[in-house]
């Protein structure tokens, strides 16, 4: 029932294996699915990683036994062996990199570095390649910080652009998993630049990369302080919006939420409403439906109902429903913000088409009691967000009519004309002079 | 017997290469009718037949008949000779020539009747006479000069013809000259002259080489015969062949690969020749397939059987006989059988295979290459099927019968596709897949199911039925078929349960491997099919993402028709799902020109304004859709008009004062005007009447009546789930009625209660509220809600007259300013635009300074929006990403190379396009004008381009700026001058960058050359003037010389006189 708005199934395929764990953890916490299913899913996930110990733990808790299947034990041995081998292969370079004095010798010039490594330390392409494999293996084992470090150093030495890109993805994943949001954001931006600038072999790949990028970025944006603005800046770019519309309409939920919560990106909002309207047939969820109710159908009762569903959806979303522990009780900050802003949306639109509203009705529409509603409105009026007066005798709010005067309209229309003409004349004169001179 | 036969052929081939042969050939058939003699062999014999070599079994009776005919022929000939004599008398060479040709024709007939190889004496005599006369005429040069030109021409050609002609009869003519009396008497005495025979013997010698295989000559004789007696002698030939077969193939061991191959080569060589019966050719080849020794050979022969079968169809517009078509399909299936059985045989149409490639037997390991093209065959079969459906009257049983053959084709296509996929020829497979797609795309699920059932249960029955047709052929099957092929490929089509699944499979194959055109067509079929299944959003997305609207202009006409059909179906679909605005934008273009029939290829509409040439009409007929694929035009019209009504009525109510300004549907407006002009409106009859009546009701806000009128249309029965649709329609009509009511009567109310409104229009409160709210938000309705009393309070916003005028003034002012801006931009940015060659240099200077300005200019133009429908923009998908969304894993994607630059372009237009679906669809306005162009290429491209804002006709000019060299545009006639109204529109598409680079260079070169020429010309002028000066001086000198001469003479005279005087004086002195 509660899983109705769950997007995990749609999101997971676009993520790295390791990135799915936080989602599963969240689901486990919310208890939307039977515990067993989630544990099984985890084991399934882990089967292709090298985190065998973790898998064993889960297996134990799932079947409540101390026995571990033979294959897991074998796999563990194999993983350890492989790790050893890789470590050895990468050892020269790793020791070099761990020596701070040696690292001092590295310079900005990549060619120079490579030559230097080759001449003085006998570290060639194989070792560098081994570093990459080692880092990858570390990552698969769950040692994200090690992997991140190695990948960073690998990128400094790598000459192969494909590999470098792949390393960048790995670095991003590692940073996300370590929850270093600032660094992750930097990686994200550099990755975005590469994706946008690079002439991909096929446009399909480019779109796919964008979609991956957007999915991964969800982790960052909903944890970073400035994320709510950044998500709009990223997702609302034409290229990315197109990718969303064609391949991943479920991302609209996050964009919509960001739009509702964020007050600074109003200009693009109208456009976005149109996108939502257009995509209604391919994707629906309480949040987009809420927007449709308020801005397309002007169905305020419907919007009111949707708000409740939205709350539920937000709470059950791993990205949106992030909890913040404050003392003894946890809050979901995004939910509160969302509800507040949604109310404001409804009210704004409502006021635009009414000239007199009963307070009690309004209070009910806003999910507030009478006093709260009155206080809320008074606040709005005081911050001059709303031009209205409360008629407390009849218990109504009366809107101030704000029809523009005809004369003002006329002036508006003609104001710019003189400026434009002036500019024209000067342009003409400028052009005429060289001609006469000639 | 063999001799004669061989002789017959060669003689004909050798001698018949003359000018008069063609008529003679065509005469053959006439002859058959006029003289229905049972001349099985004689007719076939040419005039070189020796009488004694003719069949001995010619009966006496036959002879008698022949004699009578003979007399007739002779009479005719002598009449011609008389005519010639007359012509000679008046020296009329033109008529003489005519008579001569006539005589030659008659000669052929005569000889055939008399069964002689020797020309009749009458003819020879005429020739002699003619020759004499000719020589005489040529000798008389004076007379020749006097002749009229046509006469002289005739004389000359006569001379040559006669010379050529007489060569054949040289001996006879000589004989005649020597003893004319012999010829006088021997009118009918056909004595074989010796010399004639010699000639023939030579031929026969030649033949001997070829006659080594008796079989062949036998066969070719048959051929010869059948050519002559295409119809009547049919059975006879067959029986004869049987006999021959018995004789030749009694002993199968005698047949070798060589014999069959030789025979085959020979038959193929005869193909396409005059007098080769097409059907017989097929028969012979079919026979050969049975005696073929190796599978490869059988295959090769089968290929030619099929192509021979295609030849049976005589004309381009006619279709192949149905039974032949069926056989053809069977043959193709047999080909597939062989190919499946022997996988080492490769069919290829690229390389010319080895002569003896087919000799390799079944046990040969390597690949055997056979020339042939399966895909082309399948396409051809499809075309023939299509044509037959076009031609057959759709209201007959025959049509239905023919339709039942469809599974037969689909099984063939399916098998071929499978085979091609197996051998890895995916390109071909995609082509065949397209044929299959085109077979099912227009079928709704019900029809598809019916077809599937028919294919399943009916197959056995049909097998027998179609088997009968073939049985006739199989009866005379040779005792042993050397290469027996089991029926390996299925003879029964397999259809998945759901038509959509089949479409998905086929279409994804095509998207993966097909070429541009195949993909486009498949895409259109896909759109059409989705639309049929009421999946509006899917098909709309496909359409928008494929950018087909932009590229469709450049495709062939049948694809454009398909596009129009898809658009029509999309319109119907959006109507069915209740998206009326979208429906209108899909259909309005189709109806704007009033030639829907033509655009959908469902009939030829007669245009009042220009006559079509028969050629055009024939072409159009060839494009017609078969009846069962038609889209019901009445339904389409009803849908279009209703959509237009729903949009236009509230729109008209909203803009009562300046109704002309915002017109949504011109067609609808026009119809409305016509119906309003009528003095009396009767009960509605046609679709239009109904919609007009509904419109009248709707304008009064009477939604019930409007709906009832529309509901009474009886075309709704053609609509799937019509109840739902009508319900939706009713809701929409209510809504629009409410809107119209509010627009029209808002000024009469101070306030109006929600209750009242919702009761009036039978809507729920929330609906009414929502509709009214929407109108308020959009500033259409100047009012606001009063929540406590739940009523609408109207505001007085009526402008006074002065205010309204002031607004108009400001609007005009801003237009003026805009125009000024544009004008100055044109001046400064691209002054050399109308670049006449002379000003070109200046233009380039401007362009150099104005540089990238053009870009801005055109861009601002496009931002100005609607003026010229300029925003031909991309859909919302980035050109590249487009197809990734295909749910069925068609991730192969249909992104043509053209669209690779999609993302870049989409940048500019993307945001606007995304602005709602309606925008998306209307933006694509340019699509149907192109399709209307399909039938008349000279049609107006876009009316908006042709008239400039000042109302005059715009001029087509050419830009010579650096950024757009040689690109034409429509612009105001005062472009670049005072009073330029700002109209500007490109007529050509943007050039490619290469052209842009090259053209300026070329222009510079031309300019340089022109300069050089000018320099030379000025130099030349200088020289000329110098020469003139010199001439003048010369003249002066001449003059001087003359003067001097004169002086000189007078001096001499003077001297003379003085001398004389002196002499005289001195003489006088002396005296």
* pLDDT tens for each residue of B610-625: 666 777 777 777 778 8
Closest partner CB to B787 (pick from A282, A361, A403): A361
pLDDT at B232: 41
Q: By the 8 A CB rule, do B719 and B577 touch?
A: no
Cross-strand pairs, B786: A356, B791
> CA nearest B111: which of B171, B56, B46, B184?
B46
- d(CA B243, CA B313) in angstroms, rounded, equals 29
How close A197 comes to chain B (CA, Å)? Answer: 12
Indicate if the alpha-carbon torsion angle A259, A263, A266, A268 is positive or negative.
negative
Indicate if the alpha-carbon torsion angle A216, A217, A221, A223 is positive or negative.
positive
Residues of B in contact with A358 (CB under 8 A): 787-788
CB contact under 8 A, B817 and A421: yes
Closest partner CB to A207 (pick from B786, B828, B880): B880
- DSSP classification of residue B786: E
- DSSP classification of residue B178: H
Residue A258's SS3 state is helix
- Give counts: helices (H), strands (E), chain A: 22, 5
pLDDT at B303: 80
- d(CA B977, CA B823) in angstroms, rounded, equals 8
Residue B124's SS3 state is helix
Residues 6+ apart with CB under 8 A from B512: B426, B430, B890, B892
- d(CA B108, CA B111) in angstroms, rounded, equals 5
Cross-strand pairs, B984: B971
As to burial, measured by CB atoms within 10 angstroms (0-12 exposed, 13-18 middle, 19+ buried), residue B123 is buried
- d(CA B649, CA B691) in angstroms, rounded, equals 12
Closest partner CB to A355 (pick from B784, B797, B882): B784
Candidates B884, B905, B919, B920: best to mutate against A (most CBs of A within 10 A) is: B884
Residues of A in contact with B882 (CB under 8 A): 246
pLDDT at B391: 81
Decide if A198 touches B, using CB distance below 8 A. no
Residue B793's SS3 state is strand
pLDDT at B1063: 66
Q: By the 8 A CB rule, do B791 and B752 touch?
A: yes
Q: By the 8 A CB rule, do A309 and A315 touch?
A: no
CA dihedral A279, A285, A287, A290 (to 10 degrees): 80
Name residues 376-405 of chain A within 8 A of B (Cβ): 394, 396, 399, 401, 403
Candidates B786, B814, B853, B880: best to mutate against A (most CBs of A within 10 A) is: B880
Residues of B in contact with A402 (CB under 8 A): none
Candidates A14, A199, A204, A352: best to mutate against B (most CBs of B within 10 A) is: A204
- d(CA B212, CA B207) in angstroms, rounded, equals 9
Name residues 98-137 of chain A within 8 A of B (Cβ): none
Could you tell me how far CA B1029 lies from the centroid of its own chain?
66
In the block, residue with structure tokens 């979303």: A317
Mean pLDDT, each 10-residue run in order, chain B (1071 residues): 38 39 42 41 42 43 54 76 78 78 76 66 77 76 68 76 74 69 48 41 42 41 42 42 48 64 73 66 74 73 79 69 82 82 72 58 64 81 84 83 83 86 84 87 84 71 42 39 59 75 87 86 90 85 81 83 90 88 86 78 66 73 81 88 89 72 80 83 82 87 87 84 87 89 83 87 86 83 82 75 81 84 73 36 34 33 33 35 35 33 32 34 32 30 49 69 74 66 72 78 85 88 87 88 85 71 66 62
- d(CA B921, CA B643) in angstroms, rounded, equals 15
How close B633 comes to chain A (CA, Å)? Answer: 29
Residues 6+ apart with CB under 8 A from A199: none
* Residue A427 host element (H or E): helix A406-437
Q: A354: nearest CA in chain B? A: B785
Q: Tokens for B145?
A: 């000069």
- d(CA B476, CA B468) in angstroms, rounded, equals 14
How close B979 comes to chain A (CA, Å)? Answer: 16
pLDDT at B478: 37
Closest partner CB to A424 (pick from B795, B821, B917): B821
How close B915 comes to chain A (CA, Å)? Answer: 6
CB contact under 8 A, B824 and A354: no
pLDDT at B21: 40
Q: A280: nearest CA in chain B? A: B537
pLDDT at A369: 81
- d(CA A36, CA B9) in angstroms, rounded, equals 92
Residues of B in contact with A207 (CB under 8 A): 878, 880-881, 884
Decide if A408 touches B, using CB distance below 8 A. no
Q: Residue B357: count other Cβ atoms within 10 Å of its Cβ.
A: 19
Furthest C-alpha separation in chain B: 167
| A:B CB pairs within 8 Å | 137
Residue A283's SS3 state is coil
Residues of A in contact with B911 (CB under 8 A): 238, 271
CB contact under 8 A, A352 and B907: no
Closest partner CB to B774 (pick from A281, A298, A414): A298
Decide if A421 touches B, using CB distance below 8 A. yes
Q: Tokens for B89?
A: 């008398």
Q: Residue B99: count other Cβ atoms within 10 Å of its Cβ.
A: 23
Name residues 807-836 of chain B within 8 A of A (Cβ): 807, 810-811, 813-814, 817, 820-821, 824, 827-828
Residue B784's SS3 state is strand
CB contact under 8 A, A242 and B884: no
Q: How far is CA A409 from CA A358, A416, B686, in A?
A: 32, 12, 48
CB contact under 8 A, A298 and B770: yes
pTM of the entire structure? 0.61
In the block, residue with structure tokens 């020339």: B371
Q: By the 8 A CB rule, do B443 and B528 touch?
A: no
CB contact under 8 A, A410 and B807: yes
Residue B785's SS3 state is strand
In the block, residue with structure tokens 């700002």: B982
Residues of B in contact with A274 (CB under 8 A): 914-916
Candidates A197, A207, A421: best to mutate against B (most CBs of B within 10 A) is: A207
Name residues 225-254 of chain A within 8 A of B (Cβ): 238-239, 241-243, 245-247
Cross-strand pairs, A354: B785
Rounded to the nearest 10 degrees, the angle between the axes of helix B278-291 and helix B214-228 is 150
Cross-strand pairs, B953: B947
- d(CA B154, CA B151) in angstroms, rounded, equals 5
Residues of B in contact with A400 (CB under 8 A): none
How close B758 comes to chain A (CA, Å)? Answer: 16
Closest partner CB to A242 (pick from B793, B799, B876): B876
Closest partner CB to A301 (pick from B766, B900, B916): B766
* Phi-psi group of B118: left, alpha or beta (phi > 0 → left; psi -120 to 50 → alpha; rest → beta): beta
- d(CA A399, CA A353) in angstroms, rounded, equals 10
CB contact under 8 A, A203 and B902: yes
Q: Tokens for A413?
A: 């229309």
In the block, residue with structure tokens 């669809």: B921
Cross-strand pairs, B968: B958
Q: By the 8 A CB rule, do B926 and B939 touch?
A: no
Residues 6+ apart with CB under 8 A from B587: B567, B568, B571, B636, B639, B640, B643
- d(CA A188, CA A172) in angstroms, rounded, equals 7
- d(CA A321, CA A337) in angstroms, rounded, equals 12
Q: pLDDT tens, position by position, for chain A (438 residues)? A: 456 677 777 888 888 888 888 888 888 877 777 877 888 888 777 777 777 777 777 777 777 777 777 777 888 888 888 888 888 887 777 777 777 777 676 766 777 777 777 777 777 777 778 888 888 888 888 788 888 888 888 877 777 777 888 888 888 888 888 888 888 888 888 888 888 876 666 777 888 888 888 888 888 888 887 777 888 888 888 888 888 888 888 888 888 888 888 776 677 788 888 888 888 777 778 888 888 888 888 888 888 888 888 888 888 888 887 776 666 666 777 888 888 888 888 887 887 788 888 888 878 777 778 888 888 888 888 877 777 888 888 888 888 766 667 778 778 777 788 888 888 888 888 877 776 655
Decide if B774 touches A, using CB distance below 8 A. yes
- d(CA B792, CA B742) in angstroms, rounded, equals 10
Closest partner CB to A353 (pick from B776, B821, B884): B776
Decide if A80 touches B, using CB distance below 8 A. no
Candidates A278, A412, A419: best to mutate against B (most CBs of B within 10 A) is: A278
Rounded to the nearest 10 degrees, the angle between the axes of helix B257-270 and helix B214-228 is 30
Q: By the 8 A CB rule, do B403 and B350 touch?
A: no
Residues 6+ apart with CB under 8 A from B123: B77, B103, B107, B110, B169
Q: Residue B889: count other Cβ atoms within 10 Å of its Cβ.
A: 8
Name residues 844-903 of chain B within 8 A of A (Cβ): 876-882, 884-885, 891, 893, 895, 900, 902-903
Q: A268: nearest CA in chain B? A: B911
Could you tell me how far CA B24 lies from the centroid of its own chain?
35
Residues of B in contact with A301 (CB under 8 A): 766
Candidates A298, A364, A422: best to mutate against B (most CBs of B within 10 A) is: A298
Q: Tokens for B466?
A: 């179609």
């Amino acid at each position: 029932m509660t899983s109705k708005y769950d997007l995990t199934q749609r999101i997971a395929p676009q993520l790295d294996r390791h990135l799915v764990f936080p989602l599963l953890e969240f689901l486990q916490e919310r208890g939307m699915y039977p515990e067993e299913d989630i544990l099984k899913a985890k084991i399934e996930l882990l089967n292709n990683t090298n985190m065998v110990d973790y898998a064993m733990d889960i297996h134990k808790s799932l079947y409540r036994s101390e026995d571990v299947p033979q294959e897991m034990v074998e796999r563990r041995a194999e993983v350890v062996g492989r790790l050893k081998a890789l470590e050895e292969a990468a050892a020269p370079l790793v020791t070099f990199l761990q020596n701070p004095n040696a690292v001092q010798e590295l310079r900005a010039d990549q060619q120079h570095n490579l030559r230097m490594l080759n001449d003085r330390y006998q570290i060639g392409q194989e070792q560098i390649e081994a570093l990459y494999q080692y880092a990858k293996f570390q990552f698969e084992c769950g040692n994200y910080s090690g992997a991140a470090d190695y990948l960073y150093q690998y990128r400094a030495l790598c000459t192969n652009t494909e590999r470098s890109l792949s390393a960048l993805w790995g670095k991003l994943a590692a940073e996300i998993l370590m929850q270093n949001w600032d660094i992750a954001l930097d990686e994200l931006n550099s990755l975005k630049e590469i994706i946008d600038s690079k002439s991909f072999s096929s446009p399909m790949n480019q779109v796919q990369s964008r979609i991956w990028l957007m999915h991964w970025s969800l982790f960052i944006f909903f944890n970073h302080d400035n994320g709510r603005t950044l998500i709009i800046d990223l997702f609302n770019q034409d290229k990315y919006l197109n990718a969303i519309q064609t391949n991943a309409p479920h991302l609209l939920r996050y964009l919509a939420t960001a739009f509702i919560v964020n007050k600074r990106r109003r200009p693009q909002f109208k456009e976005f409403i149109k996108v939502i309207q257009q995509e209604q047939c391919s994707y629906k969820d309480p949040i987009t439906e809420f927007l449709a109710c308020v801005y397309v159908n002007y169905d305020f009762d419907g919007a009111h109902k949707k708000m409740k569903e939205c709350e539920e959806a937000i709470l059950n979303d791993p990205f949106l429903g992030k909890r913040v522990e404050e003392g003894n009780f946890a809050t979901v900050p995004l939910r509160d913000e969302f509800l507040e802003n949604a109310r404001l949306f409804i009210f704004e639109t409502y006021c635009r088409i009414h000239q007199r509203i009963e307070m009690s009705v309004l209070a009910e529409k806003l999910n507030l009691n009478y006093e709260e509603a009155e206080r809320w409105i008074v606040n709005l009026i005081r911050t001059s967000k709303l031009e209205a007066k409360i008629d407390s005798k009849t218990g109504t709010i009366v809107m101030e009519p704000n029809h523009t005067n005809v004369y003002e309209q006329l002036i508006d229309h003609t104001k710019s004309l003189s400026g434009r003409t002036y500019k024209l004349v000067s342009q003409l004169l400028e052009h005429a002079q060289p001609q006469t001179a000639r | 017997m063999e001799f004669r036969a061989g002789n017959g052929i060669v003689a004909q081939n050798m001698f018949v290469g003359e000018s008069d042969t063609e008529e003679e050939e065509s005469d053959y058939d006439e002859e058959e009718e006029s003289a229905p003699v049972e001349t099985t062999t004689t007719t076939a014999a040419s005039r070189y037949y020796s009488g004694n070599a003719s069949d001995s079994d010619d009966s006496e009776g036959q002879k008698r008949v022949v004699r009578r005919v003979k007399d007739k022929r002779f009479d005719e000939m002598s009449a011609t000779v008389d005519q010639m004599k007359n012509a000679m008398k008046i020296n009329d060479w033109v008529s003489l020539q005519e008579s001569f040709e006539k005589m030659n024709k008659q000669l052929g007939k005569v000889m055939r009747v008399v069964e002689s190889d020797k020309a009749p004496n009458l003819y020879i005599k005429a020739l002699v006479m003619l020759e004499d006369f000719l020589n005489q005429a040529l000798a008389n040069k004076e007379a020749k000069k006097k002749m009229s030109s046509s006469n002289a021409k005739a004389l000359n050609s006569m001379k040559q013809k006669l010379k050529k002609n007489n060569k054949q009869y040289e001996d006879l003519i000589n004989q005649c000259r020597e003893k004319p009396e012999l010829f006088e008497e021997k009118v009918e005495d056909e004595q074989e002259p010796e010399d004639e025979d010699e000639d023939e013997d030579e031929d026969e010698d030649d033949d001997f080489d070829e006659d080594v295989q008796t079989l062949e000559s036998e066969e070719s004789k048959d051929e010869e015969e059948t050519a002559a007696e295409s119809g009547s002698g049919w059975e006879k030939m067959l029986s004869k062949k049987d006999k021959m077969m018995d004789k030749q193939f009694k002993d199968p061991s005698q047949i070798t690969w060589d014999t069959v191959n030789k025979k085959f080569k020979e038959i193929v060589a005869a193909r396409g020749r005059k007098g080769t019966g097409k059907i017989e050719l097929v028969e012979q080849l079919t026979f050969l397939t049975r005696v073929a020794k190796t599978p490869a050979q059988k295959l090769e022969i089968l290929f030619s059987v099929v192509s021979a079968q295609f030849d049976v169809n005589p004309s381009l517009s006619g279709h192949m006989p149905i039974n032949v078509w069926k056989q053809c399909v069977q043959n193709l299936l047999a080909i597939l059988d062989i190919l499946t059985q022997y996988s080492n045989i490769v069919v290829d149409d690229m390389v010319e295979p080895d002569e003896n490639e087919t000799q390799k037997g079944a046990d040969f390991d390597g690949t055997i290459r056979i020339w042939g093209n399966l895909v082309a065959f399948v396409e051809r079969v499809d075309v023939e099927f299509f044509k037959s459906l076009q031609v057959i009257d759709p209201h007959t049983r025959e049509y239905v019968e023919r339709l039942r053959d469809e599974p037969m084709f689909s099984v063939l296509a399916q098998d071929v596709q499978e085979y091609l996929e197996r051998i890895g020829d995916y390109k071909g497979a995609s082509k065949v897949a397209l044929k299959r797609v085109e077979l099912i795309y227009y079928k709704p699920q019900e029809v598809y199911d019916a077809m599937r059932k028919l294919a399943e249960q009916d197959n056995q029955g049909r097998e027998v039925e179609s088997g009968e047709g073939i049985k006739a052929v199989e009866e005379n099957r040779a005792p042993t078929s050397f290469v027996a092929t089991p029926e390996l490929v299925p003879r029964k089509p397999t259809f998945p349960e759901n038509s959509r699944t089949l479409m998905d499979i086929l279409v994804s194959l095509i998207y993966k491997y097909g070429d541009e055109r195949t993909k486009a067509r498949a895409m259109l079929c896909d759109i059409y099919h989705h639309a049929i299944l009421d999946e509006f959003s899917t098909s709309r997305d496909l359409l928008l993402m494929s950018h087909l609207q932009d590229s469709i202009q450049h495709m062939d006409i049948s694809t454009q028709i398909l596009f129009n059909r898809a658009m029509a179906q999309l319109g119907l679909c959006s109507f069915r799902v209740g998206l009326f605005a979208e429906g209108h934008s899909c259909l309005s273009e189709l109806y704007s020109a009033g030639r829907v029939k033509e655009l959908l290829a469902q009939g030829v509409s007669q245009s009042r304004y220009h006559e079509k040439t028969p050629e055009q009409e024939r072409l159009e007929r060839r494009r017609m859709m078969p009846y069962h694929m038609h889209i019901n035009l009445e339904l389409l019209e009803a849908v279009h008009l209703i959509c237009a009504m729903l949009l236009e009525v509230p729109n008209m109510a909203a803009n009562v004062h300046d109704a002309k300004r915002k017109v949504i549907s011109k067609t609808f407006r026009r119809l409305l005007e016509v119906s309003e002009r009528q003095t009396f409106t009767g009960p509605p009859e046609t679709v239009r009447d109904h919609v007009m009546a509904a419109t009248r009701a709707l304008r009064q806000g009477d939604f019930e009546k409007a709906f009832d009128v529309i509901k009474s249309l009886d075309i709704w029965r053609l609509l799937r789930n019509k109840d739902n649709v009508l319900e939706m329609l009713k809701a929409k009509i209510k809504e629009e009625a409410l809107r119209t009511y509010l627009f029209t009567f808002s000024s009469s109310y101070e306030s109006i209660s929600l209750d009242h409104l919702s009761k009036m229009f039978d809507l729920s409160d929330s609906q009414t509220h929502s509709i009214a709210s929407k109108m308020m938000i959009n500033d259409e309705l100047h009012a606001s809600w009063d929540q406590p009393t739940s009523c609408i309070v109207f505001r007085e916003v009526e402008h006074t007259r002065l205010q309204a005028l002031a607004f108009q003034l400001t609007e005009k002012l801003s237009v003026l300013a805009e125009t000024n801006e544009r004008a100055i931009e044109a001046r400064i940015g691209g002054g050399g635009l109308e670049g006449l060659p002379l000003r070109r240099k200046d233009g380039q200077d401007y362009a150099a300074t104005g540089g990238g300005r053009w870009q801005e200019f055109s861009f601002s133009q496009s931002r100005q929006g609607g003026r010229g429908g300029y925003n031909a923009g991309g859909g919302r998908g980035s050109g590249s990403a487009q197809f990734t969304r295909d749910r069925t894993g068609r991730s192969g994607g249909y992104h043509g190379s053209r669209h690779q630059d999609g993302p870049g372009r989409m940048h500019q237009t993307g945001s606007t396009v995304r602005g709602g679906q309606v925008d998306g669809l209307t933006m694509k306005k340019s699509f149907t004008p192109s399709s209307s162009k399909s039938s008349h290429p000279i049609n107006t491209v876009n009316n908006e381009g042709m008239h400039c804002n000042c109302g005059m006709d715009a001029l087509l000019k050419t830009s010579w700026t650096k950024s757009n060299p040689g690109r034409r545009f429509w612009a105001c006639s005062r472009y670049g001058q005072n009073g330029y109204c700002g109209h500007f529109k490109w007529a050509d598409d943007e050039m490619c960058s290469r052209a842009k680079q090259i053209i300026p260079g070329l222009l510079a070169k031309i300019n340089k050359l022109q300069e050089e020429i000018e320099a030379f010309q000025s130099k030349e002028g200088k020289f000329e003037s110098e020469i003139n000066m010199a001439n003048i001086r010369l003249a002066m000198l001449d003059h001087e010389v003359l003067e001097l001469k004169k002086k000189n003479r007078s001096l001499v005279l003077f001297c003379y006189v003085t001398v004389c005087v002196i002499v005289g004086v001195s003489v006088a002195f002396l005296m």
